[in-house]
Amino acid sequence: MFRTIASAALAAAFFAPAAGAADQDWRPEGHDSAVAACLDFNEYKPAKFVDAVEDGLGDWIVWVDDKDGDLWLCNANENGEVYANVLLNGDLLDGGGTELVAKGNESGRRLGPAESAERLCAAVGDYMEDLEIVATVDDALGDYLVWLKNGSNAYWMCNASADAKLYSFESVQYPLDESEASDDGTCCAPFEDRRS
């Protein structure tokens, strides 16, 4: 009896590495379709995959280099619908973000890296309308992606750094290949409803 158990344990250990090797290729649901959609959507082909990370709201941020080596931030879901595709051109505020972050920190306390990015995104958003931060994630390239929404549940995607650089601030509501509104004034599914 003991030999049978020992033999079964040895056999299980022998075959375990084969199963582990398959796990190394495992990707979360939707990763591959979001990456494929972003690569296909980029107009400056051949586009090259850089990295991808979950966006904090159930979809994906996919980083893409185009044929000229320019970096694009793409937001897509598991169904391959692209909601944003933004060419990054450096700091949109040309160094002015530090002042915006400092305005919200009268106490002078040292802010954490994500908090600095959040404050910058919130300050930029305040120039447009009343927005609330709903999620913040590491963007996979050393900065942060901050999601904000307004009272009508319209979402804004902000990409900012811990050192107060603003790389993008985009409204993200509907797939880019769909029209903004139909003839009767309605549009695409709201952000919360677009997931299955």
Extents of the domains making up the chain = 31-89, 97-172
Residue type, 119: R
> Is the domain defined by 97-172 classed in CATH 3.40.50?
no
Q: 88, exposed or middle or buried, with CB in 10 Å at 0-12, 13-18, 19+?
A: middle
What mean pLDDT value characterizes the chain?
A: 80
Position 27 scores a pLDDT of 57
- How confident is the model over 83-132, as pLDDT tens digits? 999 999 999 999 998 888 877 566 666 778 899 899 999 999 988 889 99
Among 132, 113, 112, 114, smallest CA distance to 122 is for: 132
Tokens in use for 10? 């040895």
- How confident is the model over 147-183, as pLDDT tens digits? 999 999 999 999 999 999 999 999 998 788 664 544 4
